[in-house]
């Protein structure tokens, strides 16, 4: 057969592509549930890390089951907050219902499109609340979790992740523990134009800002925008302190010693 | 094919024709993933499997592939293997975290010159079994260097091997410090240079007159 004729070439490549697509579809269907379970445990471990329950690596060592068990034991409630400030429903803690990254992406779209959103607040038994943020980095999405102390103003910790930022530069939002360590003890200042900021050239001791990553301007800016946008969404929803107080139920007094 | 030839197919890529130290291919990933042994080992196995299976499949198809689109067909086969490896790594709890830490580098195996190079240079002109062995051996040759580099980088840079602490806390207490440079890619390049130097001084055939 003449393997160099046009007809042969076209038919051959078509068949190869169809076979490869079929194999990939089959494998993805078979492995999908296992990958989803891993991703869920990964997300839970990121939330726990942000909330200062141990180090990210330690969760990987303990394994998926231990991570989920710890979450079940320590989570108090997960609320979904709407744009008008009402909480729609609670996520099931025993079933470890959480927002996956793709759900964050969907909600981020709604936030930007001025549609009604349902964004989660993870409340832990020790009073720490974790809220997700999501936005665009340089090459792909960046997202993360910010844990707020029971005083509803100071940040307990944070954890960030990304899809395809450059390793060693933008990838540092995830890989460099000193970047996320900056967040602990910082304050979300709702009276400022930007409640929180990642500043290029250094935060210079500002209470509601951290240093950007050198050599990763776009990633830092993207993460900054994501934080401002999502904090703003929670804030718009109800005023985040009121919201957190409502969730805490105890009516914990707001610390009013602003500056 | 004679037995000695088959033996040559397997041993040549590991020593005399090592893809990294002699052909100087696959340098980029060998600098990037050699900070820890665990990652290097997974990367080495992944590349070995991908080169082996891609060579096997391309060799099986070698008489049917239209010459004008052969590079594209090879690329499709390689991409298939890489995605399969990536999907499998993501599916198991033990390898999920390593896959995450290797981030883009698993996907970038597609662009690893060794894979395409062996298909073009060997698999398209040889029977399936030797092609499979050639692919596996080249992957192993690559992986061996990766593991040697990762061994030195992990023990000097983090004081651990496979994550286990090797250098005792007493040494740190006495003032010993991990070398920060070792963690960075430039040191991997220096180390690779040293390995190539040693390899060439041992094997006289590699020396230019």
Task: Give tens-digit pLDDT for A159-202.
Answer: 999 988 887 788 889 888 889 999 999 988 877 778 888 998 88
A140 touches chain B (CB under 8 A): no
pTM (two decimals): 0.80
B45 in contact with A, Cβ within 8 Å: no
Token representation of residue B11? 């041993």
What tokens appear for B107 in the block? Answer: 């996907």
**Chain A environment of B72 (Cβ under 8 Å):** 13
Can you give the pLDDT at residue A246?
60
Residue among B64, B93, B100 minimizing CB distance to A64: B93
Inter-chain Cβ pairs, chain A and chain B, closer than 8 A:
63
pLDDT band at A259 (very low <50, low <70, confident <90, very high): very low
Instruction: Tell me: pLDDT of A254 over 70.
Output: no
Residue A199 distance to chain B (closest CA, Å): 26
Is the Cβ of A109 closer than 8 Å to some Cβ of chain B? Answer: no
Asked whether B119 and B54 are in contact (CB, 8 A), the reply is yes
DSSP per position, A41-60: HHHHHHHHHHTTSS-HHHHH
Task: Report CB contact under 8 Å: A4, B103.
Answer: no
Residues of B in contact with A58 (CB under 8 A): none
**Cβ <8 Å between B67 and A24:** no
Q: Which residue is it, tokens 């709702």?
A: A190
| CA angle (B110 as vertex; A12, A17 as ends), nearest 5 | 20
Other CB atoms closer than 10 Å to residue B144's CB: what's the count?
18
Q: Classify residue A187 by its DSSP letter.
A: B
Distance (Å, whole) CA B199 – CA A259 = 65
Residue of chain B minimizing CA distance to A56: B97
ipTM for the predicted complex comes to 0.81
B128 to chain A, closest Cα gap in Å: 18
Residues B57-103: tens digit of each pLDDT = 999 999 899 988 999 999 999 999 999 999 999 999 888 888 888 87
Which region, left, alpha or beta, applies to residue A128 given φ > 0 means left and ψ of -120 to 50 means alpha? beta
Task: Give the C-alpha separation, A38 to A64, whole Å.
Answer: 7
Within 47-66 of A, beta carbons closer than 8 Å to B belong to: 60, 63-64
Comparing CB atoms, the residue among A12, A41, A164 nearest residue B64 is A12
Q: With bands split at pLDDT 50, 70 and 90, how would you rate the model's confidence at A115?
A: confident
């Amino acid at each position: 057969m003449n393997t160099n004729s046009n007809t042969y070439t076209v038919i051959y490549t078509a068949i190869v592509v169809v076979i490869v697509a079929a194999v990939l579809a089959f494998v993805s269907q078979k492995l999908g549930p296992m990958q989803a379970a891993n991703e869920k445990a990964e997300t839970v471990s990121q939330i726990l890390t942000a909330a200062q329950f141990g180090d990210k690596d330690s969760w990987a060592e303990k394994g998926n089951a231990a991570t989920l068990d710890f979450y079940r034991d320590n989570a108090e409630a997960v609320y979904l907050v709407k744009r008008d400030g009402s909480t729609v429903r609670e996520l099931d803690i025993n079933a470890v219902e959480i927002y996956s990254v793709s759900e964050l992406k969907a909600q981020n779209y709604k936030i930007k499109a001025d549609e009604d959103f349902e964004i989660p607040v993870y409340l832990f038994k020790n009073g720490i609340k974790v809220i997700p943020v999501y936005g665009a980095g340089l090459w792909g999405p960046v997202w993360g979790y910010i844990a707020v102390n029971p005083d509803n103003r100071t940040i307990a910790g944070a954890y960030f992740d990304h899809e395809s930022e450059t390793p060693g530069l933008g990838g540092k939002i995830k890989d460099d523990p000193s970047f996320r360590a900056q967040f602990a003890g910082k304050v979300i200042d709702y009276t400022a134009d930007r409640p929180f900021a990642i500043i290029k050239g250094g935060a210079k001791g500002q209470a509601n800002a951290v240093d950007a990553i050198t050599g990763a301007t776009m990633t830092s800016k993207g993460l900054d925008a994501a934080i401002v946008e999502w904090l703003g969404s929670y804030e718009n929803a109800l005023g985040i302190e009121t919201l957190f107080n409502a969730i805490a139920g105890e009516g914990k007094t707001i610390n009013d010693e602003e500056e | 094919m004679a037995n000695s030839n088959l033996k040559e197919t397997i041993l040549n890529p590991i020593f005399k024709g090592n893809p990294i130290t002699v052909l100087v291919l696959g340098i980029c990933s060998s600098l990037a993933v050699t900070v820890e042994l665990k990652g290097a080992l997974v990367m080495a196995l992944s590349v070995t499997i991908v080169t082996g299976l891609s060579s096997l499949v391309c060799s099986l198809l070698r008489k049917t592939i239209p010459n004008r689109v052969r590079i594209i067909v090879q690329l499709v086969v390689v991409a298939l293997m890489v995605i399969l490896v990536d999907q499998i790594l993501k599916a198991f709890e033990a390898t999920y975290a390593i896959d995450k830490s290797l981030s883009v580098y698993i996907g970038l195996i597609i662009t690893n010159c060794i894979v395409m190079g062996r298909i073009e240079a060997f698999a398209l002109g040889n029977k399936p079994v030797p092609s499979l062995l050639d692919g596996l051996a080249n992957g192993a040759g690559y992986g061996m260097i990766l593991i040697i580099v990762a061994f030195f980088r992990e023990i000097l840079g983090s004081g651990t091997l496979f994550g286990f602490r090797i250098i005792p806390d007493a040494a740190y207490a006495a003032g010993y410090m991990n070398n920060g440079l070792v963690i960075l890619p430039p040191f991997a390049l220096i180390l690779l240079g040293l390995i190539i130097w040693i390899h060439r001084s041992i094997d006289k055939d590699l020396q230019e007159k």
